[in-house]
């Protein structure tokens, strides 16, 4: 993984955190019919200007989360058979997450992309074909990023554009380069790493995965968590994982881009 030097000095970091927290809104508990559900505790607006790169597995900075607050993120979808099961588990607990989509898959399954957004989740971007971008040339990497964003936008909004409606991106394998990081920052796109992950790319049972990720979370206490919704083991263990969060006092934070509330209001007119 690419290690980058801190880009924000302590005083600037404090100001950025204050600005980000100022964008927090309360999640509407009235949206959840189950009184005993985990629910979404709050919504956090993430401004790429304040947080251009987050996730301590890759960068020195992460999101301003309190103890026992978690952000759920899913990579590599959509994959209808398993993504649908993940969505069902999230809906059962009234939880909202962020899905970093592969453009090729989004182009093949636009209805699933629309469903993810319709159910209140955030759509992020994860390239067109999931290459190892640290091993290819800059022009090729840029084209793969842009093609992926354009495919996601076409599936979601019916318009092919490399300007994302949600400026959130995660590099495949977390492998970036200084040039690609600078490119995304210059375009106002936040790059997401993670604070912990479920290692669901490894062969294991759902029960083993549940034990692994809950142990890691209990040790960390909070953070951005990485899952992969195309993995059957992840889809199978998700209800039990969400139950663990609910029973152990964890709170879900839903991340959105600046202007999210206004866009939703405009869409409802």
In a domain, 97, yes or no: yes
The residue ranking higher by pLDDT, 11 or 249, is 249
pLDDT, the chain, mean: 89
pLDDT tens-digit series, residues 167-213: 999 999 999 999 999 999 999 999 999 999 999 999 999 999 999 99
Has residue 18 got a pLDDT over 80?
A: no
CB-CB contact of 131 with 175 (8 Å)? no
DSSP 115-129: HHHHTTPEEEE--SS
- Distance (Å, rounded) from C-alpha 57 to C-alpha 181? 15
Which pLDDT score, from 0 to 100, does residue 199 have?
Answer: 97
In a domain, 134, yes or no: yes
Which pLDDT score, from 0 to 100, does residue 260 have?
Answer: 77
In a domain, 11, yes or no: no
Has residue 55 got a pLDDT over 50?
A: yes
Has residue 12 got a pLDDT over 60?
A: no
Which pLDDT score, from 0 to 100, does residue 208 have?
Answer: 98
* Percentage of the chain modeled with pLDDT above 70: 85
**Token digits of residue 203:** 């062969």
In a domain, 34, yes or no: no
In a domain, 262, yes or no: yes
Which pLDDT score, from 0 to 100, does residue 249 have?
Answer: 98
In a domain, 161, yes or no: yes
Count of structural domains, the chain: 1
**Which residue is listed with tokens 């993120």?**
73
DSSP state, 133? G
* Cis-peptide, bond into residue 7, ω within 30° of zero: no
In a domain, 24, yes or no: no
Which pLDDT score, from 0 to 100, does residue 263 have?
Answer: 56
- Distance (Å, rounded) from C-alpha 171 to C-alpha 200? 17
CATH number of the domain bearing residue 100: 3.20.20.370
Confidence band (pLDDT; 50, 70, 90) for 26? very low
Has residue 131 got a pLDDT over 50?
A: yes
Has residue 23 got a pLDDT over 80?
A: no
pLDDT tens-digit series, residues 213-232: 999 999 999 999 999 999 99
Which pLDDT score, from 0 to 100, does residue 33 have?
Answer: 84
**Token digits of residue 246:** 């609910």
| pTM score over 0.75 | yes
In a domain, 259, yes or no: yes
Range of the domain at 142: 39-267
What average pLDDT score do residues 68-92 get? 98
């Amino acid at each position: 993984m690419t290690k980058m030097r801190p880009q924000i000095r302590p005083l600037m970091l404090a100001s950025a955190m204050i600005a980000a927290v100022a964008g927090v809104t309360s999640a509407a508990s009235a949206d959840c019919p189950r009184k005993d559900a985990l629910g979404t505790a709050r919504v956090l607006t993430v401004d790429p200007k304040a947080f251009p790169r987050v996730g301590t597995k890759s960068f020195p900075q992460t999101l301003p989360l309190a103890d026992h607050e978690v952000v759920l993120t899913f990579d590599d979808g959509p994959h209808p058979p398993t993504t649908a099961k993940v969505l069902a588990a999230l809906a059962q607990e009234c939880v909202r997450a962020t899905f970093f989509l592969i453009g090729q898959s989004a182009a093949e399954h636009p209805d699933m992309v629309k469903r993810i957004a319709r159910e209140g989740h955030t759509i992020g971007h994860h390239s067109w074909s999931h290459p190892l971008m640290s091993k290819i040339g800059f022009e090729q990497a840029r084209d793969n990023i842009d093609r992926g964003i354009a495919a996601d936008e076409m599936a979601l909004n019916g318009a092919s554009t490399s300007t994302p409606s949600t400026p959130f991106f995660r590099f495949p394998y977390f492998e970036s380069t200084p040039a690609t990081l600078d490119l995304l920052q210059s375009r106002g796109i936040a790059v997401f790493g993670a604070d912990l992950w479920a290692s669901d790319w490894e062969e294991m049972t759902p029960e083993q995965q549940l034990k692994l990720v809950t142990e890691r979370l209990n040790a960390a206490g909070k953070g951005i968590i990485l899952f992969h919704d195309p993995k059957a083991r992840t889809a199978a263990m998700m209800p039990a994982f969400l139950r663990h969060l609910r029973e152990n006092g964890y709170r879900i934070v839903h991340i959105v881009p600046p202007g999210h509330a206004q866009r939703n209001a405009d869409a409802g007119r």
